[in-house]
């Protein structure tokens, strides 16, 4: 039976004005199981109209009032976790354990963190910086926020945007990816039971719908997670109206492994897990290993064994599921069709099965710095291996890409870890680990990986504007 989804506008579920729908496919089987509205200009206009009207009151609420409602959303997410897990797993093919253990509890935690952060915004102390004048700094909500979320973590990336925007007093029009709208619509149902009508709105659709959302004149700010190309298009569109922009884009994380790591096998296993998690469909994935020449052979073999032992599929023992859609499967396969002769596929490099969009855990060795697979985000369960000689060579290769989102350093030398983390040109750097996130710490990149921060008080600040108010206090 095919499920019909609806938009969520002004506190109600409604069909697109056009009556048009697009198919939603289960990537584990390749079969259509739902349909989502193809929203057009009228739908987007209605969502923004509702958000603008709701902002008149929501923007005036106190931090404590907003915090109480965000805490209720967190409780509701926990209470209805199984519904969210089922929706996300069907729509993305993720193993249920990954959602139930790694994502849904964290989503609730994010709402709780921002509930607290809303009440603790800090700034310069009020004072007299000019004789007979007192200055005060106000952190105010930006207004109506247009948001676009990706298909790799549909629920989690929505939460990363929704929670800080609401905490700061903004209202939202959110458009999920056309291939993964189901869990976002489920979130709208859960959040809608808590918030006033119009504060949070969801319109589903294709790229044209997304363009309408980010270019709409009512939006004071647009925030997206997506590809570098999508981010550039949004920035250009926003420039026409001088909108604020928050961009979390692609990545090509360097994983720098020095020859003084304490345990080569354990290090390889940890990196394999961080590179193959979510089928490598993660902008922070440990996808680009740089290993010191003296341990290259031993490490590459250990990484190959760890990857080869990783299970993909739909069973309880599966570590990761399918790629998201047939276009992404074809894209990943294309890298191997163009693989240079000097590269060696140590394991994987091929599709798994005929049903769905599964791809084998893969390690590719012998690549050079200017190879496509090094310079371009694969976004699949593919880990590349290069060698380096010393710290300077490692830094040159690690930083020698257009991306600047995340990276990691693996060493037992504390001074080396400090030097490398200082000079790696990435917004997040891990030492002897890779991929953990916490609500209290920021995530965001440099260069072509975008700008702005998710999570932490920095993420909350991104959804506020700063106003200086000066009072004359002379007689």
CA atoms within 13 A on the CB side of 129: 10
What's the mean pLDDT in 414-442?
98
Question: Mean of the pLDDT values across residues 333-360?
Answer: 97
Predicted pLDDT of residue 422:
98
Mean pLDDT of the chain: 97
Helix, strand, coil shares of the chain as percentages rounded to 5? Answer: 40, 25, 35
pLDDT of res. 149: 98
- Collapsing DSSP to helix, strand or coil, 166 comes out as helix
> What confidence category does residue 363 fall into, taking pLDDT thresholds of 50, 70 and 90?
very high
Reading the block at residue 101, the tokens are 């253990």
Average pLDDT over residues 77-97: 97
Mean pLDDT of 224-244: 95
- The pLDDT of residue 124: 79
Domains 3-250+449-468 and 254-431 share a fold: no
The pLDDT score that the predictor gives to residue 409 is 98
Question: Tell me, what's the pLDDT at 357?
Answer: 98
Neighbours of 475 (CB within 10 A): 3
pLDDT at 416 over 80: yes
Quick one: average pLDDT of 363-390? 98
The pLDDT-based confidence of 446 (bands split at 50, 70, 90) is very high
**pLDDT band at 121, cuts 50/70/90?**
confident
Q: Domain limits of the chain?
A: 3-250+449-468, 254-431
Going by pLDDT thresholds of 50, 70 and 90, the confidence category of residue 270 is: very high
318-343 pLDDT, tens per residue? 999 999 999 999 999 999 999 999 99
> For residue 1, what pLDDT band results from cuts at 50, 70 and 90?
confident
Sequence length of the chain is 475
Residue 463 to residues 163, 281, 310, 394, 423, Cα–Cα distance (Å): 10, 27, 40, 36, 29
Closest CA to 405 of 434, 371, 368: 434
How confident is the model over 228-249, as a mean pLDDT? 95
This prediction has a pTM of 0.96
Q: Which CATH architecture has domain 254-431?
A: 3-Layer(aba) Sandwich (3.40)
Q: Does residue 40 sit in helix, strand or coil?
A: coil
Q: How confident is the model at residue 123 (pLDDT cuts 50, 70, 90)?
A: confident
- Smallest Cα–Cα separation from 470: which of 60, 128, 141, 123? 128
* Average pLDDT, integer, range 153-181: 98
> What are the E-state strand segments in 87-170?
127-130, 133-141, 144-148
Instruction: For domain 3-250+449-468, give the CATH superfamily.
Output: Aldehyde Dehydrogenase; Chain A, domain 1 (3.40.605.10)
Those residues with Cβ within 8 angstroms of residue 454's Cβ, 6 or more apart along the chain or in another chain: 160, 161, 164, 248, 442, 443, 444
Angle between helices 154-167 and 63-79 (to 10 degrees): 160
Q: Of residues 88, 248, 269, 391, which has the active-site annotation?
A: 248
The whole-number pLDDT of residue 139 equals 94
Whole-number pLDDT of residue 125: 83
Active site residue 122: no
**CA gap 406, 249 in Å, rounded:** 11
Distance CA(202)–CA(7), nearest Å, equals 6
């Amino acid at each position: 039976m095919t499920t019909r989804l609806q938009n969520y506008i002004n506190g109600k579920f409604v069909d697109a004005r056009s009556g048009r729908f697009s198919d939603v496919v289960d990537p584990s089987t390749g079969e259509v199981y739902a349909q989502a509205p193809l929203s057009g200009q009228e739908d987007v206009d209605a969502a923004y109209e509702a958000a603008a009207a709701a902002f008149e009151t929501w923007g005036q609420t106190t931090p404590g009032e907003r915090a109480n409602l965000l805490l209720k959303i967190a409780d509701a997410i926990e209470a209805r976790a199984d519904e969210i897990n089922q929706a996300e797993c069907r729509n993305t093919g993720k193993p249920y354990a990954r959602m139930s253990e790694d994502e849904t509890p964290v989503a609730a935690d994010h709402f709780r963190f921002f509930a607290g952060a809303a009440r603790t915004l800090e700034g310069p102390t009020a004072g007299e910086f000019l004789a007979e004048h007192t200055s005060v700094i106000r952190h105010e909500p930006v207004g109506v926020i247009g948001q676009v979320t990706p298909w790799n973590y549909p629920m989690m990336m929505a939460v990363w945007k929704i929670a800080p925007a609401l905490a700061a007093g903004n209202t939202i029009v959110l458009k999920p990816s056309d291939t993964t709208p189901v869990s976002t619509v489920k979130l709208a149902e859960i959040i809608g039971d808590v918030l006033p009508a119009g504060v949070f709105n969801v319109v589903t659709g294709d790229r044209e719908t997304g363009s309408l959302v980010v270019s709409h004149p009512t939006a004071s700010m647009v925030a997206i997670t997506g590809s570098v190309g999508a981010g550039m298009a949004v920035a250009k569109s926003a420039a026409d109206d001088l909108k604020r922009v928050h961009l979390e884009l692609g990545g090509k994380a360097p994983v720098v492994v020095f020859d003084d790591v304490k345990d080569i096998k354990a290090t390889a296993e940890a990196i394999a897990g961080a590179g193959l998690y979510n089928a490598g469909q993660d902008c922070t994935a440990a996808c680009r290993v740089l290993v010191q020449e003296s341990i290259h052979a031993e490490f590459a073999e250990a990484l190959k064994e760890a990857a080869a032992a990783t299970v993909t599929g739909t069973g309880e023992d599966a570590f990761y599921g399918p790629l998201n859609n047939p276009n992404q499967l074809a894209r990943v396969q294309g890298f191997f069709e163009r693989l240079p002769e000097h590269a060696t596929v140590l394991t994987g490099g091929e599709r798994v099965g005929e049903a769905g969009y599964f791809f084998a855990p893969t390690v590719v060795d012998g690549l050079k710095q200017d190879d496509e697979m090094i310079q371009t985000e694969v976004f699949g369960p593919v880990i590349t291996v290069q060698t380096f000689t010393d710290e300077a060579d490692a830094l040159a290769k690690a930083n020698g890409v257009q991306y600047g989102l995340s990276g990691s350093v693996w060493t037992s030398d504390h001074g080396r870890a400090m030097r490398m983390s200082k000079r790696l040109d990435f917004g997040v750097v891990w030492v002897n680990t890779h991929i953990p996130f916490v609500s209290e710490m920021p995530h965001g990149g440099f260069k072509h990986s975008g700008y702005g921060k998710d999570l932490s008080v920095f993420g909350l600040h991104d959804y506020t504007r700063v106003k200086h108010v000066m009072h004359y206090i002379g007689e």
